[in-house]
Amino acid sequence: MASKLWEKNVTVDHDVETYTVGRDREMDMYLAPYDILGSIAHITMLESIGLLSKDELSALTAELREIYRLTETGDFTIEEGIEDVHSQVELMLTRRLGDMGKKIHSGRSRNDQVLVDLKLFIRSRIEDLTAAVNRIFNTLIAQSDRYRDVIMPGYTHLQVAMPSSFGLWFGAYAEALADDLTVLHAAYKIANRNPLGSAAGYGSSFPLDREMTTRLLGFDSMNYNVVYAQMGRGKTERIVSQAIAGIAATISKLAFDACMFNSQNFGFIKLADEFTTGSSIMPHKKNPDVFELTRAKCNKLQSLPYEITLITNNLPSGYFRDLQLIKENFLPAFDSIISILDMVDTMLSQVKVNTHILDDRRYALMFSVEEVNRLAHEGIPFRDAYKQVGLAIERGEFTPMTTVTHTHEGSIGNLCNDRIKAMFDEILSRFGFETYHTAFDKLLDR
């Protein structure tokens, strides 16, 4: 069994090792390609300050690029007995290059290694998440435009209130995602700062060139204060998870609407059969299980910021092993929210809308405000018009006019979807993912 990077002359008890390592090896597989990219940037900087020769840099870079290719093909593994991805990469280098492989850790701690790995991972996964948000946003806008003239009841207190439309319903969730994307962009800006060079949280006596590694890894800037760089562990994940939770909250509300509107008592939409399941004893049932699970998955994701808070909120400055546990639910959260968005996107693109909701007389009273406004427009004081319509309803004499002529911005007749789309696209353009792609291509000589 290979020794630990930190092990000297005392062998760790097996049970203690199992307890402390936990699922770290499993979680570190998420970080493997980013650990290698961080190492290529780090050794490039080490050569520039005289801690590696040009020949050593060339040999180490070639081997690291080869290990990176293993992560792309799925052939990279963390061997049994190796506690983390950092140890695995260094072990592979020393097997191939001997003592030269041990030089890559100069001026670096596993603390800032995992910090930079997490930042690079987060940055990449935010790009994937942004693409998924963009897909479902475009579907919502398309469905809003398609069904812009189909009237449906709007509700307050779960009681029929005023006329709404499927144009408004789909479009509302599109605009909600624009706000969620704004929060995600803010999280991206916080993640896109370089902690490498902070070492164990107190810097290094080596003359590290942190501006160089910041540029090589395509970061916007660095975490300047080395103590704060270490304090960013947990804080960054919490902020990013809050952005994920915001998206999840939007989709959870949509899922609740969809379950309710799909039920027989509403009948506003019909889900495609492949997104429903039957009952073991009731042959008529078509349950909206996919949306129900979506709601539960989204609610679970909304707990993530609180979980991270509870792990970190009573820790002083400096590194503590508590932070390791954040990985277990945080790293897979991106896969979860992206799979949710893609599933809901598919369901929404195939949903069937009831275009004859108004044939049901139970929705007649939602036009009462339209009648009050019509009378007020004719010169009757609003409160008098309100009373007149209310008394007609009580006497059972109210006959609604179902023509809706809302024209102001954001209303049934003026959805402003073009403005919502322009706003969303402007937020999307702020991320600048191409900067880090260009940096990575240079590191990998692509």
Q: What is the pLDDT of residues 112-144, one digit of tens each?
A: 999 999 999 999 999 999 999 999 999 999 999
For helices 166-191 and 417-429, the axis angle rounded to 10 degrees is 10
Establish how many alpha carbons lie within 13 A of residue 12's alpha carbon, considering only the half-sphere containing its beta carbon: 19
Q: What is the mean pLDDT of residues 6-19?
A: 60
Q: How far apart are CA 367 and CA 162, in angstroms?
A: 6
How many residues in the chain?
446
Q: What is the pLDDT of residue 277?
A: 77
Q: What is the pLDDT of residue 281?
A: 75
Q: How far apart are the first and last CA of the chain?
A: 36
**More confident of the two residues 266 and 11:** 266
Q: What is the pLDDT of residue 173?
A: 98
pLDDT band at 1 (very low <50, low <70, confident <90, very high): very low
- What pTM, to 2 d.p., does this model score? 0.92
Q: For 138-195, what is each residue's pLDDT tens digit?
A: 999 999 999 999 999 999 999 999 999 999 999 999 999 999 999 999 999 999 999 9
pLDDT band at 11 (very low <50, low <70, confident <90, very high): low
Q: For 191-224, what is each residue's pLDDT tens digit?
A: 999 999 999 999 999 999 999 999 999 999 999 9
Q: What is the mean pLDDT of the chain?
A: 92
- The dihedrals phi and psi of 61, each to the nearest 5 degrees, come to -65, -45
Q: Which residues partner with 153 through β-bridges?
A: 163
pLDDT band at 14 (very low <50, low <70, confident <90, very high): low
Question: Domains of the chain: which residue ranges?
Answer: 111-150+164-205+224-357+415-433, 360-414
**More confident of the two residues 379 and 4:** 379
Q: What is the pLDDT of residue 320?
A: 85
Q: What is the pLDDT of residue 8?
A: 54
Q: What is the mean pLDDT of residues 379-408?
A: 92
Q: What is the mean pLDDT of residues 246-260?
A: 97
Report the run of H or E that residue 135 belongs to, with start and end: helix 110-146
* CB distance 38 to 117 below 8 Å: yes
pLDDT band at 6 (very low <50, low <70, confident <90, very high): very low
Q: What is the mean pLDDT of residues 416-440?
A: 98
Examine the pLDDT at 286 and tell me if it is beyond 90: no
Q: What is the pLDDT of residue 152?
A: 95
Which of 17-31, 38-52, 248-262, 289-303 is the least confident region?
A: 17-31
* CB distance 85 to 67 below 8 Å: no
Q: How far apart are CA 228 and CA 225, in angstroms?
A: 5
Q: What is the CA radius of gyration of the chain?
A: 28
Q: How far apart are CA 109 and CA 200, in angstroms?
A: 5
Q: What is the pLDDT of residue 242?
A: 98
Of the options 3.40.50.9100, 1.20.200.10, 1.10.10.10, 3.40.50.720, the CATH number for the domain spanning 111-150+164-205+224-357+415-433: 1.20.200.10
Q: For 79-101, what is each residue's pLDDT tens digit?
A: 988 889 999 999 999 999 999 99
Q: How far apart are CA 346 and CA 171, in angstroms?
A: 17
Q: How far apart are CA 184 and CA 245, in angstroms?
A: 10
Which of 253-262, 267-276, 324-333 is the least confident region?
A: 267-276
Show Cβ contacts of residue 190 under 8 Å, excluding neighbours closer than 6 positions: 236, 239, 240
Q: How far apart are CA 257 and CA 173, in angstroms?
A: 11
- DSSP letters, 195-257, are -TT-TTTT--SS---HHHHHHHTT-SEE--SHHHHHHHHHHHHHHHHHHHHHHHHHHHHHHHH
Q: Are strands 352-353 and 269-270 parallel, antiparallel or unpaired?
A: antiparallel
